[in-house]
Structure 1
Amino acid sequence: MKNEKIEALRMKVRKEIRDEEYQLLIEDNNQKLTELTTKKQSIEEALNESSSALNIDALNKELEEFIANPTLTPEFLHKFIERIEIKEDGSPRIFYRFSNSYISSIFFE
């Protein structure tokens, strides 16, 4: 795309094309660039959604394994819990590692 713009500019400078033709080339190039940018954003969004779905599936599998055999291990704690704070009144405040707010909402409805 950038090379096409540079080539169009060179053609204009060498008087190989008129100003109107140059403007049409640039507009066409900008339109293609806009379309490609939109496609790129759509693909990135689809990848993010797919990645989130995979993460949810993996989380569900690990939770099912824990439910089947509820043994609290250091590995489990490190996978699911970011940190635990103890408030002044002695009650715990648990911070989970769920980066997705949707996942957190599943557990804390």
Structure 2
Amino acid sequence: MSESEDADGPPSRVGPIVFADETARQQLLEEGEVVTFRARERSTGETWWRRSRTGPKEGDVIVEEIGECDPRDIEQLEPYGDKSGFQSAREWRHAINALNDGLEPGYLYRVRPINR
């Protein structure tokens, strides 16, 4: 049973994921995996990604939750820094702050392309 499927019915819907930040997009496209911070919990499983909230589909991906994260604690970002696309966990934290209008606890997700 996939992560997006429940025992009582058909697969649940997984909304698209947006990569507005160029650094994260490049990590996904060039390295085939990106770890991303989201301020709110999101659905996981197979979906697609886009550059903006209303932009066109760019590719198919699978989204997996890593877990809760408080970006104010740099040590929580450091294990995933090399997969964020940023030069350091501190640079990543700066981007999280800018994209989310502050540093509040949220969630980390691993996103990988689906090769079809």
Taking structure 2 as the reference length, the TM-score comes to 0.20
Taking structure 1 as the reference length, the TM-score comes to 0.21
Q: 1 or 2, which has the higher strand percentage?
A: 2
Larger radius of gyration: 1
Determine which structure has greater relative contact order: mean sequence separation of CA pairs < 8 Å that are 6+ residues apart, divided by chain length: 2
Q: 1 or 2, which has the higher helix percentage?
A: 1
